[in-house]
Amino acid sequence: MDSSAHRTPSSLPLDQLVAHALSELDKIDYSRRSMRRYRTVWGHLVTFSREMSLGDGYSEQLATEFVTAYRRQPGERVNANEAWRRHIPFLVTVLGDFARDGRVERTRIDTSRLQVPAAMKKSLSEYEQYARDRRHLRASTLRERMRTIAVFLDDLGSRNVTSLDQLQPADIAAFVASRGRLGPRSMSRTVSDVRCFLQFLLVRGMLQRDLSQLLPTVRVPRDATIPSVWEQELVERLLKVVDRSSPRGKRDYAILLLACRLGLRLGDIRTLRLDDLKWATAAIEITQSKSGAPLCLPMTEEVGEALINYLKSGRPQTAHRELFLRAQPPFTPFAEDGHFYQIVKYWRDLAGIQFRSKQHCGLHSLRHTLATQLLREQTPMHVISEILGHATTASTMIYAKADVESLRGAALDTEELRHDD
């Protein structure tokens, strides 16, 4: 019998650890492309370990030295045969987690594979109804929350917890530990979703003690990250490359302008209706999907011309009142979870746009770019807040991290305006 079968993953020789981890990936149906990527990176790790004489097994020292030696540097371009270097930090972390826990957690969970124990399904359904009817959660928020809780219940089932009255503090601790690779924001949201569910179970008498108190508090400062912004020259390159002679190009150009010129959120662009366009006053009036607050923005000449061009010769004839429709039959509105990322990516790739360092580059980053540009133009902070639809300037302050000097100027402008009142 293979003696390695009785050894913990962390005690295995590195090449055997890699073989076991690849087998685990295969069991949970990773694609051939992903398997090839993991096999390549981990193969280089094994070779590196041997060449550097860093021991026979996995260690934090080995991981750190390998990542330091081979990871792609900011702004560095790698050729095709070195494309594996782009994925080094994450894939090495996955192997380290497997060495510690003996299992691999999918980054993107296939919800169709989740198995909620039968005895918990009724409680899950009741909570969903409560969150929708009593807490009035938006559909997208509710969907994400129920997904998180389904993952939680599936995890309990994998630990042989078949009913909620069997739930123990150790089960909650184990679930939180299994989410260890999540970033601070994702972990905070996960913990919050599970906490709300446990509190619901307590109030409904499905739990006899408040287990929600056992969950850790994950604090994420509002300004913990710097918003991703584009250089203005790149924004203009993006807009310039859009083919405004085609129906798709007319639509996409209008969508991009609404984000980078008016700063509209993705959700508000997706749900924008024909009735929201007030041609008599040259304005766009909406109820914001995120806050429910009204927002009125001026329809600039540039934006107005793009919208007219799309409406006259790009938008299909249909009874739908949503402004933007899919470019292929049956020309339906975009789904609620549509994020428009492919729209930005398509034209960005066509323009050959590359960034100096890794950053978000979807539609929302164009909104960030507008906010930062307004700061650089010394637009008063309260004006920027109004344009972006923020309830207070506190939400707007995060954009100042991209340009500290502009913040100082904007703050002075705000004080001057207060003295003028």
Residue 364 among the catalytic residues? yes
Question: Catalytic: 390?
Answer: yes
Q: Give catalytic status of residue 368 as yes or no.
A: no
Q: What is the C-alpha to C-alpha distance for residues 186 and 93, in angstroms, rounded to an integer?
A: 17
Report the chain's C-alpha Rg in angstroms: 26
Is 358 catalytic? The answer is no
pLDDT in the model for residue 256:
96
Domain with CATH 1.10.443.10 in the chain: 232-420
CA 274 – CA 288 distance, rounded (Å): 15
The upper half-sphere exposure of residue 27, i.e. CA atoms within 13 Å in the direction of its Cβ, equals 9
pLDDT tens sequence across 88-101? 888 888 888 888 87
Mean pLDDT of the chain: 83
The whole-angstrom separation of Cα 251 and Cα 163 is: 51
pLDDT band at 219 (very low <50, low <70, confident <90, very high): confident
Confidence tier at 75 by pLDDT (50, 70, 90): low
Q: What is the pLDDT of residues 288-302, one digit of tens each?
A: 887 788 999 999 999
Using alpha carbons, select from 354, 344, 350 the residue that is nearest to residue 78. Answer: 354
Mean pLDDT of 308-317: 94
Class of domain 232-420: mainly alpha
Q: Residue 164's pLDDT is what?
A: 92
The single residue of 145, 195, 250, 265 carrying the catalytic annotation is 265
Give the pLDDT of residue 332.
93
Q: How far apart are CA 228 and CA 348, in angstroms?
A: 15
Which pLDDT does position 408 carry in this prediction? 41
Look at residue 224 and tell me whether its pLDDT is greater than 50.
yes
pLDDT attached to residue 105: 66
**Cβ density class 302-314: b for 16+ within 10 Å, e for less:** ebbebbebbeeeb
| pTM for the structure as a whole | 0.59
**Which one from 189, 250, 270, 367 is the annotated catalytic residue?**
367
Residue 256 makes CB contacts below 8 A (sequence gap 6+) with 238, 239, 242, 343, 344, 347, 363, 366
Torsion sign (Cα): 411, 417, 419, 421: negative
Distance CA 298, CA 285 (A): 9
Read off the pLDDT band of 228 (50, 70, 90). confident
**Annotated catalytic residue within 38, 58, 127, 399:** 399
pLDDT at position 8 is 62
Is the model more confident about 6 or about 148? 148
Catalytic residue chosen out of the listed positions 195, 270, 348, 364: 364
At 107-166, the pLDDT tens digits run 555 555 678 999 999 999 999 999 999 988 877 788 889 999 999 999 899 888 999 999
Q: Which of 290, 320, 376, 382 is catalytic?
A: 290
pLDDT above 60 (res 5): no
- Model confidence at 271, pLDDT cuts 50, 70, 90, reads very high
Distance CA(259)–CA(369), nearest Å, equals 9
Once rounded to an integer, what is the mean pLDDT over residues 270-277?
Answer: 95
Please count the CA atoms within 13 angstroms of the CA of 46 that sit on its side-chain side: 15
Annotated active-site residue in 189, 250, 315, 390: 390
Residue 240 designated active-site? no
Q: Quickly name the fold that domain 111-214 has.
A: DNA polymerase; domain 1 (1.10.150)
- pLDDT 10s digits, 354-379: 887 777 788 888 988 888 888 778 77
Calculate the CA 205 to chain-centre distance. Answer: 35
pLDDT value of position 218: 80
Per the annotation, the verdict on 367 as an active-site residue is yes
- Range list for CATH 1.10.150.130 in the chain: 111-214
Report pLDDT for 137: 84
